[in-house]
Structure 1
Amino acid sequence: MKKNTLIAASMAAVISLSPVFTTNAFADVNTDIQQKDAKLNDLKSKKADLQADLSSLVSKLDSAQAKSKELQASFNKSAEQLKKLNADIAAINTRIKEREAVLKERARSMQVNSNSNVYLDVVLSADNFGDLVDRVSAVNTIVDSDKAILDEQQKDEDALKSKSASVKKEQAKQQKAIASYEEQQNKIEAQKAEKEAVVAQLAAQQATTEQEKSTLIAQRDREAAAAAARAAAAKEATTVQPVAATETASSSNSSSDSSSASSSSSDSKSESNTNTSSSSNNTGSSNIAAPTGSGYDAMISAAYAQLGKPYSLGATGPGSFDCSGFTSYAFRAAGISLPRTSGAQYAASTKISSSQAKPGDLVFFSYGSGIAHVGIYIGGGKMINAQNNGVSIDSLSSSFWAQSLVGFGRVANF
């Protein structure tokens, strides 16, 4: 009887202490869950701010592209105007040369006939003095008219040349403006890429934190269930079979420990499988084959096939191109993938000196700050590129390109 009383007292003590231990454990887990919630809210807030920044950058990018296309349209209009002016100048020059030939022939004829015979024939063949005056006046009028026409044509030619120079000057300004907007596009896309990378990192952190929170919630639920089971077993032992309560509690604890061990084993096995899967994925990723293609011939053939196609900011072909869209398109024919912008292509290339440059290397330009243009070097101091006049072959020694040249980069060993 004394023994039973002692056991009952012990069980009562256990029951009275269990809520304290359980409450403390739950409090710790709940604190951890609250910390995870706070971290999740912070991550979501940062992601929302970055998404707003990205939307702003996309808007700026659209604006830059629209302005560049507007400038390109003006540039194309100026080109047509310049083409017409050049045709008019050529026509005037032809007429001047033809008239000069006629005048030279008249002068030669007059010289052959002792300069004055032509006029004498006109004067001596007059019927009367009035007719003579008319004939002399007519001859002088013809000579004066020829000279006036030549002077007028020369003035027209000078005016057209002046207008042509003005149009060329305006084209140069438009070309620099277009280049500036392309440079701005590169900077915006670089900022956009950086923010997208941060968003991806935050998303990964958010996923990890949510998983950790789920694990804590599951742990809290398991501990709550185990505590409830222990409390029920202890209560039943004290009220029904006081003597067997110790065995029951021991059995319950043993079962709980066994269950915990089983769970731990299962978790360990799951983690092992996860690690194995991760290792397998990493191995698979490292075995991805590099791009293959037909080499330089395929790339340069694709590039030359685009000659004459129009320029359009942000275009990647095949109907129109911007500079980096064109280089990406050409290298893709050789199975080589290039980054989208000229700045990114510069960053991805191996820098080489001009003496090391060979056909198939990239050539880069800047108009003030940052890489703003890229072309494909074809040897002989020339490149093929997409610029304001469309896809064309340009000399690197021309004043415009020479002053903007940054250097050469290699992305493939053809």
Structure 2
Amino acid sequence: MKKKLAVLHTTVVLSFSSVLATPLVGHAETIQDMQTKKSSIQKERENVKQSIQATKEKITAAKGEKEKILEQIKRLYLAIAQNTAKVKETEEQIKDKQTAISNLEAEVSDLEEKMENRKGILEERARSFQENGGSLSYLQVLLGASSFSDFIDRADAVNTIAEADEQILKQTKKDQNILEKKQKTVKKRLDELTDIKAELTEMMSGLTAQKAHQDALMKQANLTEAENNRLKAELQQKDGTLATQETQIQQNIEAEVKRQEEARKEAERKREEARKAAEKAAAEKAAAEKAAAEKEASAKAKRSQDTATSQSQDTSTSSNVSLPDDTSTPTGSAADVVTVGNRWIGNSAYVFGGGRNQSDIANGLFDCSSFVHWAYSQVGIKLGPLGWVSTETLKHQGRQVSVGDMKPGDLVFFDTYKKDGHVGIYVGNHKFIGAQSAGVSIADMNSNYWSSHFNGRVVRIIN
């Protein structure tokens, strides 16, 4: 009987020891796997966030570029409007001059008729003069004229003209000179206006081309912005998906940790029940198995001693941990003129007569002479009143030098719609900067157009 009880006690103790020694290996590995997966998702999210930031920076840069394009488009709209008004004004002036020419032609016709009548009167007087014994040379002079103008010139040369004849001749010549002068003046102005209109038409073509180019840039900028916004939305959606996965994995980890904690508590409860069962069995059989009970008591004492020793070692180890030491100590020249206008390259537009008020200058609206005036004013040199500046006034500034002596900062002139109709600032290497049809830009004097229009006039402002 005692032997059987001893066997039963041993079985209970072994069962209790077995419960203490069983690890939760399978679940620990599952948590490790989830932690690894979570770490991988976190790294992926970091990459996605960096991509989102880069895309946002691209969107910001694209918006800045769009603002620049919009500013240039506004500038071009303003230039086109002003040039269109100038074209209309020029066309009206041409129409007026054409009307004036028609009126002058009518006056010429009337004068010619009067002149013919006067010629008949003079011839009749000449015959009468001859019949009354006058000089034969006078009649020969008058009747031998090849034209009425020659007739008047011959009559002036004859000293025997009657006083009345002389007055007729003088009035006729005076009228003729007045009409010729009017015709020349009106014809010259008409030619100038026609050339200006041709120049403006060319400028309008250039401005329209520039606007089309800017519109294309804006269209591309809008496409790029839309693509970047789409990419940002996709990345943000991906980041949201990854965040959900990360949260789910974290919840799974917490659930698994909780499950393991509950399992551990359940194991402790079973160990406690086993211990109490063992104690109860030992108490019931104490009388019969005193020796076994003493042995068990000795085993318990030994286990208690081992536990105390282990705790003592833990305390000793803890006491040897070094703490951080809180008391440790913790450980106006030509060169300026040729470059000052670069700020307007790509940010300006040509306007005939522009650049003569602060509004035009603020918006980069120049013609060739106002740009030159502005550039020199930036280095402290005034080239006459801004409101009256023209290629004609600029060519009389400074002193003229030879083409062979040309250097940066000199003014170079071109015959376009008129002589000296265009001016720029020489920058060296056969190039000049000025307000052309493309706005302020640097042009090559060796190109077909500019080489054929350069007239050799070079004016030096800065010695």
Query: What TM-score range do you get, normalising by the shorter chain?
Result: 0.5 to 0.7
What does residue 235 of structure 2 align with? 195
2:85 aligned partner, one-letter code = A
Out of 58, 69, 87, the position equivalent to 2:56 is 58
Separation of aligned partners in 1, 2:116 and 2:229 = 80
Q: 1:98, 1:72 → 2: CA distance? A: 39
Residue equivalent to 1:234: 274
* Counterpart in the other structure of 1:177: 217
Q: Distance in 1 between matches of 2:268 and 2:256?
A: 18
Give the whole-Å Cα distance in 1 for the aligned partners of 2:56 and 2:116: 81
Which residue pairs with 1:117 in the alignment?
114
Q: Provide structure 2 residue ranges, at least 5 long, that are not aligned to the other structure.
A: 119-148, 153-163, 286-463
User: Structure 1 residues 16, 236: closer, same or farther in 2, change over 3 A?
Assistant: same
Are residues 69 and 236 of structure 1, via their aligned partners in 2, closer, same or farther at CA, if it must alter by over 3 Å? same
Please name the residue that 1:210 is paired with: 250
Give runs of aligned pairs for residues 281-360 of structure 1, distance below 5 A: none
- Offset at residue 138 of structure 1 (A): 3.0
Report the equivalent of 1:155.
195
Match of 1:280 in 2: none
Deviation at 1:132, TM superposition (A): 6.2
How far apart in 1 are the matches of 2:165 and 2:250? 117
- Secondary structure in 2 matching 1:70: helix
**Contact conserved, 2:52 with 2:235, CA < 8 A, in 1?**
yes
Offset from partner CA, 1:247-292 (integer Å, 9 cap, x none): xxxxxxxxxxxxxxxxxxxxxxxxxxxxxxxxxxxxxxxxxxxxxx
The code of the aligned residue for 2:114 comes to N
2:226 is equivalent to residue 186 of structure 1? yes
Paired residues of 1:47 and 1:199 also in contact (CA < 8 A): yes
Contact (CA 8 Å) 1:75, 1:171: kept in 2 or not?
yes
Match of 1:137 in 2: 177
Change over 3 Å in CA distance of 1:81–1:130 after alignment to 2: same
Which residue of structure 1 lines up, in the alignment, with residue 20 of structure 2?
A: 19
Determine if contact 1:126/1:132 at 8 Å carries over to the other structure.
no
Deviation at 1:46, TM superposition (A): 0.5
Deviation at 1:127, TM superposition (A): 3.9
Shift of 1:142: 1.2
Q: 1:137 to 1:114 in 2, by over 3 A?
A: closer
1:138 counterpart SS class: helix
Deviation sequence 1:302-354 (CA, Å, 0-9, x none) = xxxxxxxxxxxxxxxxxxxxxxxxxxxxxxxxxxxxxxxxxxxxxxxxxxxxx
Map residues 265-276 of structure 1 onto 2, 5 A cutoff: none
Deviations 1:130-182 (A, max 9, x none): 77655533321111111111101111111111111110011011000111111
**2:140 aligned with 1:103:** no
Letter in 2 for 1:4: L
* CA distance 1:98–1:126, shift in 2 (3 Å): farther
Partner residue in 2 for 1:46 = 44
Question: In structure 2, how many angstroms separate the alpha carbons of the residues matched to 1:140 and 1:54?
Answer: 79
- CA drift of 1:199 comes to 0.8
Report which of the two structures shows the higher radius of gyration computed on alpha carbons.
2
Secondary structure at 2:53 match in 1 = helix
The answer on whether the counterparts of 1:4 and 1:243 sit within 8 Å (CA) in structure 2 is: no
**Structure 1 residue 99 displacement after superposition:** 2.0
Q: Distance in 2 between matches of 1:203 and 1:20?
A: 39
CA contact 1:7–1:243 (8 Å) conserved in 2: no
Q: Cα–Cα, structure 1 residues 71 and 57, in superposed 2: closer, same or farther, change >3 Å?
A: same
**TM-score, normalisation: structure 1:** 0.54
The aligned amino acid for 1:179 is K
- AA aligned opposite 2:227: K
Give the root-mean-square deviation of aligned CA atoms: 2.7
Alignment of 1:82-93 (within 5 A): 82-93=80-91
Which residue of structure 2 lines up, in the alignment, with residue 363 of structure 1?
Answer: none
- Normalised TM-score (structure 2): 0.48
| 1:35 shift after superposition | 1.3
1:3 to 1:158, Cα distance in 2 relative to 1, 3 A: same
CA distance in 1, matches of 2:52, 2:200: 49
Residues 73 and 211 in structure 2, CA contact (< 8 A), matched pair in contact too: yes
CA contact (8 A) 2:94 2:193 kept: yes
- Report the AA paired with residue 164 of structure 1: M
Extract unaligned runs of 5+ from structure 1. Answer: 246-414
2:259 equivalent in structure 1: 219
Cα distance in 1 between the residues matched to 2:204 and 2:90? 14
SS at match of 2:52: helix
Please show how residues 369-388 of structure 1 align to structure 2 within 5 Å.
Answer: none
In structure 2, distance between residues paired with 1:178 and 1:52: 27
Distance 1:118 1:190, change over 3 A: farther
Structure 2 equivalent of residue 318 of structure 1: none
Following TM superposition, by how much is the alpha carbon of 1:129 offset from its aligned partner in structure 2, in angstroms? Answer: 7.0
Question: 2:9 touches 2:282 (CA, 8 Å); kept in 1?
Answer: yes
Residue 114 (structure 1) shift: 7.7
